[in-house]
Amino acid sequence: MNASPILASGEGALPASALTNALPVKRNTVTLLVPTLNEIVGMKAIMPRIQRDWVDQIIILDGGSTDGTIEWARANGYFVHVQSQPGIRQAYNEVLPLISGDVLLTFSPDGNSIPELIPQLIAKMHEGYDMVIASRYLHSARSHDDDWLTAFGNWLFTRTVNLLHGGHYTDVMVIYRAYRKQLIYDLELHRDCWHRTPERLFGCRISWEPLLSARAARRRLRIAEIPGDEPPRIGGERKLRIWRWGASYYFQFWRDALLWR
C-alpha cells in the first residue's frame, strides 16, 4: 500500500496530500525587464501593447538614451533605471537588486519582441519550467530581422550549444525569454570572471543570454520554447556588433565545454 508522505513529525502531523489541498498554490511573480538604448520610436509603438497587469513589475533598463526614451518612459508611469556602467550585462547586474519577481522576462522594445506573447511565456513558466524561450525558429516561426549573416550565426550558435552542451534548442541567442531569477546565481551569470576574457580579447561588452542557454542545457534544467516571430526593428539603430559579439559567445561556448562543471 502507498502511504502519503508526512511533512512534519509529531502530534498533529498531516499527510502531504491534505496540505496540498488546503494551501493555495504559490504563483511565481514576474518582472518584465525592458533594456533600452535610444529606442524612442519602438517604445512609443510597442509599450502601449503591453497590459501592465500581465506582470507584477516593469523595469525600463536604460543605457543612457539621449533621444527622449527615458523622459517618455517616466512620463508614462514606468520605473526607469539608468545604468551607470556601459554594457548590457553590466546593466543586468546593476538592476538585479531592484528586481522583485521570481521570474525575469527580458523583452526588446525595438519591435523585435511581439508583446502579445508575454502571457504565453508566463503561462508556460507556470507549468514549472526553469526557462521558456520565444524561439524565432521553432515550427513556423521566423525572423524578419535576420539577414543572411545573422541567420547563419544564430543557426551555428544553436547547433554548437546543442552539440557541446546537450541542448535541444532551436534558438539559443534571443533576448525574448523568461527564466527563474535564481538561475543567474546558480549558473554564475553575474560573475565577471566568465565574461571578462572574451570581452577583453574581442574589445566589446556582451550580454548573457547565450551563456544562460548553454549552462541551462548543461545542468539539464527544465527548458521549453514557444514559437515567436521576430518582426523587423522599428526605428533606432542596431546595437549588435556581429563579429565581436559572435566571437565572444563562441569563445564562451567552447571554454564552458572544457571548464565549466
Ligand X SMILES: Nc1nc2c(ncn2[C@@H]2O[C@H](COP(=O)(O)OP(=O)(O)OP(=O)(O)O)[C@@H](O)[C@H]2O)c(=O)[nH]1
Instruction: Please work out the total of residues on this chain that contact Mg ion, with binding judged by CB under 5 A.
Output: 3
Q: Are the beta carbons of 176 and 122 closer than 8 angstroms?
A: no
Task: Choose among Mg ion, ligand X, none what residue 158 binds, the Cβ cut-off being 5 to 8 Å by kind.
Answer: none
Residue whose C-alpha cell reads 508575454 in the numeric block: 118
Rounded CA gap, 37 and 202, in Å? Answer: 22
Q: Does 61 bind ligand X (CB under 6 A)?
A: yes
Distance in Å, CB of 162 to ligand X, minimum: 21
User: How many residues make up the chain in this entry?
Assistant: 261
Rounded CA gap, 139 and 153, in Å? Answer: 19
User: Three cell numbers at 245?
Assistant: 559579439
- Taking the least distance from each CB to Mg ion, the nearer of 106 and 112 is 112
CA 115-42-79 angle, 5° bins: 75
Closest residue to ligand X, judged by C-beta, is 63
Q: Which of residues 11-40 bind ligand X (CB under 6 A)?
A: 35-37, 39
Print the binding letters for residues 190-229 with ligand X: x by CB under 6 A, - otherwise.
Answer: ----------------------------------------
Print the binding letters for residues 82-121 with ligand X: x by CB under 6 A, - otherwise.
Answer: -x---xx--x----------------xxx-x---------
Rounded CA gap, 154 and 242, in Å? Answer: 11
Of the candidate residues 62, 110, 199, 256, the single one contacting Mg ion (CB under 5 A): 110
Which residues on adjacent β-strands are paired with residue 62? 36, 82
From residue 58, give the alpha-carbon distance in Å to each of 29, 87, 193: 11, 20, 29
* Contact residues: ligand X, CB under 6 A: 35-37, 39, 61-63, 83, 87-88, 91, 108-110, 112, 145, 175, 233, 238-240
